[in-house]
């Protein structure tokens, strides 16, 4: 018995990273899955690997007809849509605020990171209302909750995804459609390559390179994995979460709640700064 037996899911950005990890987990739990992604080769290879219940449709989440088409494909094949996971994303325009590129790169960032989730919600809702159930999940970020965790426009759009989630959750609750967001912390995925390819023939994987860095950035002393986000997406897609809506579920190893102490107490900079000032006999 899988936790998603008989359910149908569309996962945007499902060809790579945490989306691909979620595709694998959902298939293992019995769902039929439609991967919606720009990356045709990777998406088709993953669908072929995972068998007849896994499908790929080339999709740009910023284009309404594309989002409508992948949802229509899933609904016409299975007669259902139980989970819409708006997960596609990328870093988008970056740099200092006074140098922000306001040209096509800016529009592409807004289209991918905000229009994508709006379109996913808009078109998933039609079938989910008809069946009076469903779970819409969108990938936001800890960057939507705090400053300094991503590029400015990215952070603003991720905050907007959380606002959109809360707003739409209220409207759709009466139809038993849940709308939630996931806020990942640092997760080792190809997003950090910024579209660049790995060198051919290297013995080092992306994870090998990132793991030492990602193990130290949050209180839990290991790197965040795509599987960590897949596990939260599974909870939100499953019937275990039928009373959970409007939430931004943070999966960050404690990154947003506190700093990890990396120095021994006796070596703490504050202790050292106070060492010459305090009268040790006064204790
Ligand atoms: N990796 C992290 O540390 C981290 C942290 C917080 C949030 N996120 C978010 O997680 C989500 C998944 O990212 P990831 O880290 O797995 O990166 P990734 O690069 O491995 O995967 C993102 C996928 O989205 C696809 N995509 C991008 N733009 C698209 C578009 N317009 N239409 C369709 N597909 C598109 C890409 O082709 C890619 O396959 C993104 O929304 C990202 O912003 C990532």
162-174, pLDDT tens digit by residue?
A: 999 999 999 999 9
Strand order in the sheet with 83-86: 54-58, 32-37, 8-12, 83-86, 134-139, 177-184, 248-251
Residue of 178, 185, 150, 149 lying closest to 85 (CA atoms): 178
Which protein residues are within 6 Å of ligand 1, measured from CB? 12-13, 15-19, 37-39, 59-62, 87-90, 112, 139, 141, 184, 186-187, 189-191
Q: Which residues contact 96 (CB under 8 A, 6 or more apart)?
A: none
Confidence bin at 140 (pLDDT 50/70/90): very high
| Contact between residue 170 and residue 207 where contact means Cβ atoms under 8 Å apart | no
How confident is the model over 78-83, as a mean pLDDT? 98
At residue 202, the pLDDT reads 87
Confidence bin at 270 (pLDDT 50/70/90): confident
Q: Is 250 among the domain residues?
A: yes
Which residues face 118 on adjacent strands? Answer: none
User: What is residue 203's DSSP assignment?
Assistant: S
At residue 143, the pLDDT reads 98
The structure tokens listed for 109 are 């960032």
- Is pLDDT of 283 > 80? no
Which has the higher per-residue pLDDT, 263 or 179?
179
Ligand 1 centroid to residue 179 C-alpha, Å: 19
Confidence bin at 31 (pLDDT 50/70/90): very high
Q: Is 1 among the domain residues?
A: no
Provide the CATH number for the domain around residue 107. 3.40.50.720
Question: Hey, is 151 helix, strand or coil?
Answer: coil
Question: Hey, is 224 helix, strand or coil?
Answer: strand
Mean pLDDT of the chain: 96
| Contact between residue 47 and residue 55 where contact means Cβ atoms under 8 Å apart | yes
C-alpha 7: how far from its chain's center? 20
Q: Is 162 among the domain residues?
A: yes
Query: CA-to-CA distance for 52 and 64, rounded, in angstroms?
Result: 27
- Is pLDDT of 276 > 90? no
106 is catalytic: no
In the set 154, 218, 224, 238, the catalytic residue is: 154
Angle made by CA atoms 115, 116, 120, in degrees to the nearest 5: 115
Pocket residue to mutate for ligand 1, from 24, 56, 90, 196, most atoms within 8 A of Cβ: 90
Q: What is the number of alpha carbons within 13 Å of residue 250 lying toward its C-beta? A: 14
At residue 223, the pLDDT reads 98
Backbone angles phi, psi at 9, to 5 degrees: -130, 145
Question: Hey, is 94 helix, strand or coil?
Answer: coil
Among residues of the chain, what percentage have pLDDT more than 90? 88
Predicted model pTM: 0.96
At residue 261, the pLDDT reads 73
Nearest atom in ligand 1 to 113's CA: 41
- Is pLDDT of 262 > 80? no
Which has the higher per-residue pLDDT, 179 or 280?
179
Ligand 1 centroid to residue 87 C-alpha, Å: 6
Q: Is 60 among the domain residues?
A: yes
How confident is the model over 8-17, as a mean pLDDT? 98
Instruction: Give the torsion sign (CA, 67, 61, 4, 181).
Output: negative
Q: Which residues contact 44 (CB under 8 A, 6 or more apart)?
A: 56
Q: Is 218 among the domain residues?
A: yes
* Total domains, the chain: 1
Q: What share of the chain is helix, strand, coil (3-state, %, to 5)?
A: 50, 15, 40
Residue 23 structural domain: 8-282
């Amino acid at each position: 018995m899988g936790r998603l037996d008989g359910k149908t899911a569309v996962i945007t950005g499902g060809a790579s990273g945490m989306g691909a990890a979620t595709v694998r987990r959902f298939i293992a739990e019995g769902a039929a899955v439609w991967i919606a992604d720009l990356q045709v080769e990777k998406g088709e290879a993953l669908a072929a690997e995972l068998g007849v219940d896994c499908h790929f449709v080339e999709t740009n989440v910023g284009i309404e007809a594309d989002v409508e088409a992948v949802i229509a494909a899933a609904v016409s094949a299975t007669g259902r849509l139980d989970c819409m996971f708006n997960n596609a994303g990328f870093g988008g325009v970056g740099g200092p605020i006074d140098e922000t590129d306001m040209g096509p790169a800016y529009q592409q960032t807004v289209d991918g990171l905000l229009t994508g989730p709006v379109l996913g919600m808009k078109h998933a809702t039609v079938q989910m209302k008809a069946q009076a159930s469903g779970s819409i999940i969108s990938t936001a970020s800890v960057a939507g909750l705090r400053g300094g965790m991503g590029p400015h426009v990215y952070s603003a759009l991720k905050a907007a995804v959380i606002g959109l989630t809360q707003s739409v959750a209220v409207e759709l609750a009466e139809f038993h459609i849940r709308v939630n967001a996931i806020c990942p912390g640092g997760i080792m995925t190809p997003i950090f390559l910024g579209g660049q390819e790995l060198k051919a023939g290297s013995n080092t994987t992306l994870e090998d390179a990132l793991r030492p860095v990602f193990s130290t950035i949050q209180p839990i002393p290991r790197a965040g994995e795509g599987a960590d986000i897949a596990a939260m997406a599974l909870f939100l897609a499953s019937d275990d979460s039928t009373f959970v809506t409007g939430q931004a579920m943070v999966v960050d190893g404690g990154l947003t709640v506190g700093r990890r102490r990396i120095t021994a107490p006796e070596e703490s900079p504050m202790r050292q700064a106070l060492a010459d000032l305090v009268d040790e006999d006064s204790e």
